[in-house]
A and B are shown apart, each in its own frame.
Chain A
Amino acid sequence: MSLQWSSDLEIGIPVIDSQHQRIVDYINGVERAHQHHSQAELLEVLDELIDYTLSHFAFEESLIEEAGYPFCKAHKKVHALFTRRIQAYQQSAKAGEDVTEELAHTLKTWLVNHIKHDDRDYTGVVKANMNEATKRVKTKSGSWMARLFG
Chain B
Amino acid sequence: MTRFVWSEEFELGIDIIDHQHQRIVEYINQIYDISAADLDAATGENTAEIKQVLASLVDYTVSHFAFEEALMEEADYPELSEHQLVHRQFTGLIENLKARCEQGEEVSQKLAAVLQQWLIQHIMTEDKGYAELVKQQLLGIEPEQHRHWVAEAVSRYFQ
Interface residues in chain A, defined as those with a beta carbon under 8 Å from any beta carbon in chain B: 70-71, 73-78, 81-82, 102, 105-106, 109-110, 113-114, 117-118, 121
B1-60 interface with A by 8 A CB criterion:
15-16, 19-20, 23, 52, 55-56, 59-60
B139 adjacent to A73 (CB under 8 Å): no
Q: How many A-B residue pairs have CB under 8 A?
A: 55
Closest CB-CB distance, B48 to chain A, in whole Å? 12
Partner among A76, A82, A117 whose Cβ is within 8 Å of the Cβ of B19:
A117
Partner among B15, B62, B71 whose Cβ is within 8 Å of the Cβ of A81:
B62
Known contacts A73-B74, A74-B71, A117-B20, A109 near B59 by CB under 8 Å: yes
Closest CB-CB distance, A112 to chain B, in whole Å? 10
Interface residues in chain B, defined as those with a beta carbon under 8 Å from any beta carbon in chain A: 15-16, 19-20, 23, 52, 55-56, 59-60, 62-63, 66-71, 73-74, 138-139
Closest CB-CB distance, A106 to chain B, in whole Å? 6
> In the complex, what residues of A have CB within 8 A of residue B71's CB?
71, 73-74
Selected A-B contacts with CB under 8 Å, 21 pairs:
A71-B70, A71-B71, A71-B138, A73-B70, A74-B66, A74-B68, A74-B70, A105-B52, A105-B55, A105-B56, A109-B59, A110-B59, A113-B23, A117-B19, A117-B20, A117-B23, A118-B20, A118-B67, A121-B15, A121-B16, A121-B19
Which 3 pairs, one residue from A and one from B, show the smallest C-beta to C-beta distance? A74-B70, A121-B16, A77-B70
Which chain A residue has the least Cβ–Cβ distance from B67?
A: A74
Known contacts A77-B67, A105-B55, A71 near B16 by CB under 8 Å: yes
Closest CB-CB distance, A78 to chain B, in whole Å? 5
* Given A81-B62, A113-B60, 14 further pairs, Cβ under 8 A: A71-B138, A74-B70, A76-B70, A77-B66, A78-B66, A81-B63, A105-B52, A109-B60, A110-B59, A113-B63, A114-B63, A117-B23, A118-B20, A118-B67
Complexed CA–CA distance, A78 and B20 (Å): 13
Known contacts A113-B23, A121-B15, A78 near B63 by CB under 8 Å: yes
Complexed CA–CA distance, A14 and B74 (Å): 30
> In the complex, what residues of B have CB within 8 A of residue A76's CB?
70
> In the complex, what residues of A have CB within 8 A of residue B16's CB?
71, 117-118, 121
Complexed CA–CA distance, A71 and B131 (Å): 14
> In the complex, what residues of B have CB within 8 A of residue A117's CB?
16, 19-20, 23
